[in-house]
Structure 1
Amino acid sequence: MLASLPVETASPDPDFVVVDVETACSRVSSICQIGIVGFRGGAEVFAYETLVDPCDDFSPFNTRIHGISCDHVAGQPTFAHIHATIDAHLSRRVTVAHSYFDKGALAAACRVHDRSAIETTWLDSVRVAKRAWPELPSHRLNVLTKFLGVRHKHHDALSDARAAGMVIVRAIDHTGIDLAGWLAPANTRGGAAPKPAAEGPLKDERIYVLGGPRDGPLGLRLAQAGARVTASVGVSTTMLVVSNDQPFGRFAHASAPYRRAEELRRAGANIAILSEDELRMRIDAPSDEVAPARCVAG
């Protein structure tokens, strides 16, 4: 079993921190181990880990998962004793957890031990992984670390925290979406689709906007030109337009909607893939000068 590590007080201020907890029983407040890792510039800058006396029973089921029993936590600090340290690492920072189990466990432990809630900005690395690698059959941490080639000891709090942090680092590298982009709401489709004009150069077109809301400026412009702006890419889609403001950077071709459009095209569907600038030229061009739509290079 890992020994408790000292708090790193001289490390640079991290871009984000990652937390993982193990619990003694089915009560989520029964934290018996916690690991916290800070990342800056894609690299680890500090690590903190300790066993915790949960002041609760140990379930044989939980012990079989993580290997921690009541003997291991004898003489270890309680959550009340380490609350100030955890709060110092997490408060007013971006805190990553692989699913929100850890968020709920910390909140429950604060209530049970009569400590103030930890105020932080949470980011779920499961949600990040699902957007970055939608093709994977599972986004469990042990599956992701094997896929990414990251060393990992599952159900060890410090190792799990490091691994979840690397999921964020690799997702940023893979997609080009920075931390602020991952913190943005996942639903980018916006509100209801604008009503298409009865006539226009895009009449009868069904267009999906990659990287922008349906009711945003581009979606409104397309509707004014007669297009129906769709919520997803499907067999009836006739165009995918890559927004100038899309968050994927040079990796737009790796996004799920783009790949879906290419898949449908390979199956024989007539779907054009254009940049926003190319489509604006098509909308603004006189009807007798409209050139055939061409695909954006992948």
Structure 2
Amino acid sequence: MTQPATVPATAPDFVVVDVETACSRVSSICQIGIVGFKDGVEVFAYETLVDPLDHFSSFNTRIHGISCDHVVGAPTFGDIHAIVDEHLAGRITVAHSFFDKGALGAACAIHERAGIETTWLDSVRVAKRAWPELPSHRLNVLTKFLGVRHKHHDALSDARAAGMVIVRAIEHTGIELAGWLSPNTARRGQAPKPAASGPLKGDRIAILGAPRDGTLARYLAAAGARIMSSVGTTTTKLVISDDQPFGRFVTAHADCRQAEALRLGGAPIEIVAERDLRRRMGPTDGHG
């Protein structure tokens, strides 16, 4: 049965979409769920079963529990294309991996409908950047880690869960939505896991001028610090590497300007040179 969407009073910050497919063809959408989020709160939800006009493989049915009997009388993707387009077009659309992006594109082509023009954001990439220490970033692993209620392989529940990954990542890192849309090429390495105790336990540190998986990062993590991907509202220290390549212009760097703006706004963030922090801490187990 189709669940009508509750129209939000204001436009959502982002929407999340998830689909289930009937067989190995990605165009064979048999269920779709869409959820809108505003200020970290769900503001609308839409879900429907879809007649894929294709066969159901036993493999897919075992995963999501949907069979041909469930979609009798359900709309086709062509029937709901306008609704989906209304919710997604012109917005930031989140999907947990870009399987859903490919499925929607293939379904549009098969049903001779216009492609959906939206700005895509992969919540897998967001999760890897926010919680690099996790061994897996599958949606069911993330929801268990975050304590989010979730029925895996139900399109609406999966969409809600992926949306909460974005909400929690923003809260965890202090990086706003626009920041997740920017490529993060400067910090590709995986941050070291913070030690269970140490003089920097509880600190959330961004590093300027050195990789987040390098010697300085390992030194700080060994002292208990959590290494952040960039400066955000929860960052407690910006450590400027002794090897930073910016010279006397380092204070003009975006991370330095952001940290200074937060400090002036009353945030408890410190900007400190690597040598000064090492001198203050003295000998630790976190030697490079």
TM-score calculated relative to the size of structure 2:
0.72
Query: What corresponds to 1:163 in structure 2?
Result: 161
Query: What corresponds to 2:275 in structure 1?
Result: 293
Structure 2: which amino acid aligns with 1:181? G
Query: What corresponds to 2:83 in structure 1?
Result: 85
Unaligned runs of at least 5 residues, structure 2: 189-205, 221-228, 252-272, 282-288
| 1:159-205 superposed Cα distances (whole Å, 9 cap, x missing partner) | 00000000000000000000000011121369xxxxxxxxxxxxxxx
Q: Label 1:187 to 1:293 Cα distance change in 2 as closer, same or farther (>3 A).
A: same
> Aligned to 1:119, which of 105, 117, 120?
117
Query: What corresponds to 1:248 in structure 2?
Result: 231
Structure 2: which amino acid aligns with 1:294? D
Aligned partners of 1:292, 1:174: CA distance in 2, in Å? 24
Alignment of 1:146-295 (within 5 A): 146-188=144-186, 233-235=213-215, 247-252=230-235, 293-295=275-277
Query: What corresponds to 1:72 in structure 2?
Result: 70
Query: What corresponds to 1:224 in structure 2?
Result: none
Query: What corresponds to 2:97 in structure 1?
Result: 99
* 1:239–1:273 CA contact under 8 A, matched in 2: no
Query: What corresponds to 2:33 in structure 1?
Result: 35
SS at match of 1:188: helix
| 1:14-47 superposed Cα distances (whole Å, 9 cap, x missing partner) | 0000000000000000000000000000000000
Q: Label 1:237 to 1:64 Cα distance change in 2 as closer, same or farther (>3 A).
A: closer
Query: What corresponds to 2:53 in structure 1?
Result: 55
Q: Label 1:118 to 1:238 Cα distance change in 2 as closer, same or farther (>3 A).
A: closer
Aligned partners of 2:73, 2:250: CA distance in 1, in Å? 69
SS at match of 1:295: helix
Aligned partners of 2:168, 2:79: CA distance in 1, in Å? 34
Query: What corresponds to 2:2 in structure 1?
Result: 4
Give the aligned CA root-mean-square deviation in angstroms.
3.6
Q: Label 1:130 to 1:85 Cα distance change in 2 as closer, same or farther (>3 A).
A: same
* 2:127–2:137 CA contact under 8 A, matched in 1: yes
* 1:272–1:294 CA contact under 8 A, matched in 2: no
TM-superposed deviation, 1:4? 1.9
SS at match of 2:10: coil
Aligned partners of 1:150, 1:160: CA distance in 2, in Å? 11
Unaligned runs of at least 5 residues, structure 1: 191-209, 213-228, 241-245, 262-270, 282-290
Moved over 2 A (4+): 7-12, 229-240, 250-255, 271-274, 276-281
TM-superposed deviation, 1:11? 3.7
Identity among equivalent positions (%) equals: 65
SS at match of 1:92: coil
